[in-house]
Chain A
Amino acid sequence: MKWHCNHIIFSVLYLLTISVFAQQQSENCKDPIEFNINYSKKDAIQNALDIIIEEGVPGVSLAVFSDEGWFMANSGVVNIEKKTPMQSCYLQYLQSIAKTYMAVAVLRLFEQGKINLDNSIAEYLPSSISKRLPQSDKISVRMLLNHTSGLAEYNFNPNYVTKLLQEPDHIFKPEDYIEYIYDKPLDFTQGSKYSYRNTNYVLLAIIVNEITGDHKSFIQEFIFKPLELRHTYYPLIMDELGDDQLVSAYWDRHSQGIIENASKIQQSNVAHMVGDDGIVTTPIEAILFLKGLMEGKLIKESTLQEMLQWVKRKDGSLAYGLGIGYSNIGGNISYGHTGGGIGAGSELRYFPDKNIYMFVGINLGTVTESPLHKGIAPARDKLFKTLLE
């Protein structure tokens, strides 16, 4: 009988603890913006997100801003092991979307008269770097911004890839990335064509470091602060952030449809990248950034128009502006950027004709091929179709 009473007391205490914990979690994870619960496409979008999960993504988080106001939806889990449901408050990896932030920083310096977009990068880079880059006196800042520099890609270098994977705790300094391409010939004549290179944006970070002292502080001061982005982090410092705010990251290492928790390598990789990657944020704050940019809160209208001057691909289609991509999704023009990493993928887009902003983040790696991607790609297309129709 005594055992029975103790058992009941313990059970009640356990349930109370669980309920308090769950309440704390839910309070911590309260949506920071009131969203439109009557959003017209909410069921169809939720269904589209659920299909993405069925196709093998652990978790997906979506935020939309349109004429109907804000809408947020999630499906799947933040962490498979703990079965924590995905929610809008979790930080997502922006990956290459960070390039748009970097470009805005450069364009702010352009507006301040501290940088000329058509000057050579040799004028701004430390000579120790510029002398090891071919044609650095002929490559302009603009060519870095719109990926027409012809510089080699640092992350195609097997020494970099193996170092990153074998030694995830290794601290890469900005110059370390560039060392991988020292003295390598240009892939094509500077300015002659568009070819996306992460190297370009690492160099931009180094240039902004040279001008401002620290490009990260500059981005915080001139982008995060005016837009009041309180949940956007650059750099990612895990000791300050803690594990429970950021989505876990999963990777299909061997392209077998089996995923492993690659959070450690993902965090370390993102924590050290500069200019081309390195920002984590919530889906809402990702949209607030793009919205702020398009609404002229970060740069002048004339500078924005400069940013939206598109270079073309070989086939003549519009490709990229200054840190921002051009896409046509199902007949709908979009400005924005995509991002892919070892354990995450994301898209941030503005559809000007429909006045729709959207961010979608998944916690599955997109940089190496997986059989899971086969089903995920049409599921993603269905999401866009639902959103835009």
Chain B
Amino acid sequence: MKFKFVIIGLLCSTLHTGYTQGDSGVNYRDFPLIITLQFHSFSMPFKNIKSNFSNIGIGIGTEVSYNRKSRGVQQFHLIWYRNATMGNGLLAYSQATWRPSLGSNVYTELKLGAGYLLSKRPTESFKQKNGEWVSVGKKGKGMFTIPLGLSVGYENELEQTHVSPFASYQFLVLTDYNKSIPVVPQTLIQLGNRIHFKD
């Protein structure tokens, strides 16, 4: 139910953009609010996409431009996702983002960055102490990650509040998952909206 509410909210914020100004390269406002729905999977890129939609999360973020234009920005995100099979996760990352316009207010993004994932275990876990197994709950592990992303979005600038819905596909390379599999892949499908409030 909450999930539906968030989706409707995202759609409404997009549809309420009455008219567009079109030129995304000027009058850029730093520190917009980026809100996202996340769909996580322990998968190779563009594989098992169906499984992404079983593992939902939310994210919040912002960005700052390199030169007061929207074409080159640095984004910052904090994401929480639920994954009953592989364990829930809290992911913080930043990505350098190149945002070329495709015309008609449509843009694409290429993103590359670094982050840190705190991945919980999916079930109760145990550690041996003085010959007894002691529960450590779902104690997780922190891992560095390199997220690589691809997005498509629509730039729609209201007079007061600019709103930009987008969809992203992120491929994350996680390091030090365990000693046998030092590098593992994960993917995120992101649906979100970037809201630039009035200065």
Listed in ascending order, the chain A residues whose CB lies under 8 Å from chain B are 54, 56, 58, 77, 80-81, 158-159, 161-163, 165-168, 250, 252-262, 265, 367-370
B139: A residues at CB distance < 8 A: 258
Tell me whether A168 and B47 are in contact (CB under 8 A). no
Tell me whether B43 and A166 are in contact (CB under 8 A). yes
For B55, the closest partner residue in chain A by CB is A166
- Of B70-78, B94-102, B175-183, the stretch lying at the interface with chain A is B175-183
Tell me whether A159 and B85 are in contact (CB under 8 A). no
A256 → chain B, closest Cβ, in Å? 7
For A81, the closest partner residue in chain B by CB is B124
For A54, the closest partner residue in chain B by CB is B131
Q: 22 A-B contacts, Cβ less than 8 Å apart? A: A54-B131, A58-B133, A80-B126, A159-B47, A162-B42, A162-B43, A162-B47, A253-B121, A254-B177, A254-B178, A257-B127, A258-B136, A259-B125, A259-B127, A260-B121, A260-B122, A260-B124, A261-B125, A265-B85, A368-B181, A369-B178, A370-B179
Given contacts A56-B128, A166-B42, A259-B126, contact A369 B51 (CB under 8 A): no
Question: In the complex, A340→B60 CA distance in Å?
Answer: 42
For B136, the closest partner residue in chain A by CB is A258
Question: In the complex, A159→B44 CA distance in Å?
Answer: 6
Tell me whether A256 and B141 are in contact (CB under 8 A). yes
B62 on interface, CB distance cutoff 8 Å: no
Given contacts A58-B133, A80-B126, contact A367 B121 (CB under 8 A): no
A254: B residues at CB distance < 8 A: 121, 141, 177-178
B136: A residues at CB distance < 8 A: 258
B6 on interface, CB distance cutoff 8 Å: no
Given contacts A54-B131, A80-B133, contact A258 B126 (CB under 8 A): yes
A155 → chain B, closest Cβ, in Å? 12
Within residues 45 to 92 of chain B, which ones have a CB less than 8 A from any CB in chain A?
47-48, 51, 85-86
> Which of A81, A165, A260 has the largest number of chain B CB atoms within 10 A?
A260
B21: A residues at CB distance < 8 A: none
A166: B residues at CB distance < 8 A: 41-43, 48, 51, 85-86
A83 → chain B, closest Cβ, in Å? 8
For A53, the closest partner residue in chain B by CB is B131
SS of B interface (majority) = loop
B42: A residues at CB distance < 8 A: 162, 165-166
Question: In the complex, A167→B48 CA distance in Å?
Answer: 9
Listed in ascending order, the chain B residues whose CB lies under 8 Å from chain A are 41-44, 47-48, 51, 85-86, 121-128, 131, 133, 136, 139, 141, 177-181, 184-185
A156 → chain B, closest Cβ, in Å? 11
Tell me whether A368 and B179 are in contact (CB under 8 A). yes
Question: In the complex, A114→B156 CA distance in Å?
Answer: 71
A265: B residues at CB distance < 8 A: 85
Tell me whether A253 and B178 are in contact (CB under 8 A). yes
For B83, the closest partner residue in chain A by CB is A166
For B128, the closest partner residue in chain A by CB is A56
- A-B pairs, 7 with minimum CB distance: A369-B179, A368-B180, A255-B178, A255-B179, A260-B125, A166-B42, A254-B141
Tell me whether B180 and A367 are in contact (CB under 8 A). yes
B181: A residues at CB distance < 8 A: 161, 368
A252: B residues at CB distance < 8 A: 178
A58 → chain B, closest Cβ, in Å? 7
Tell me whether A162 and B185 are in contact (CB under 8 A). yes
Question: In the complex, A54→B129 CA distance in Å?
Answer: 10
Question: In the complex, A369→B141 CA distance in Å?
Answer: 16
Tell me whether B124 and A261 are in contact (CB under 8 A). yes
A119 → chain B, closest Cβ, in Å? 36
B177: A residues at CB distance < 8 A: 254
B19 → chain A, closest Cβ, in Å? 43
Question: In the complex, A262→B86 CA distance in Å?
Answer: 11
Question: In the complex, A58→B123 CA distance in Å?
Answer: 16
Question: In the complex, A256→B141 CA distance in Å?
Answer: 9
A263 → chain B, closest Cβ, in Å? 9
B64 → chain A, closest Cβ, in Å? 34
B126: A residues at CB distance < 8 A: 80, 250, 258-260
For B186, the closest partner residue in chain A by CB is A162
Question: In the complex, A163→B42 CA distance in Å?
Answer: 8
